[in-house]
Amino acid sequence: MYGALWRMLPGPWWVRLLIVLIVVVVLLYVLFWYGFPWVSQFVNPQEVTVE
């Protein structure tokens, strides 16, 4: 699967690597600023029932 995605990206290997790094950075940014705060409304780790 990853090989097929890698072959779909345009350019030489260093351009592909740059594209993948940019996508990963953007994905992490979106998750940290929008995804995880939204999920934290539903998950409350402070309420521990184990003694």
Distance (Å, whole) CA 48 – CA 37: 20
Retrieve residue 4's tokens.
């097929």
pLDDT at position 47 is 65
Alpha-carbon distances of 51 from 42, 45, 46, 47, rounded to whole Å: 23, 14, 13, 11
pLDDT at position 28 is 95
pLDDT at position 3 is 87
Span 1-51, pLDDT tens digits: 788 888 899 999 999 999 999 999 999 999 999 988 888 888 877 766 666
Which positions ≥6 away from 24 have C-beta within 8 Å? none
Of 34, 46, 45, 19, nearest in space to 6 by CA: 19
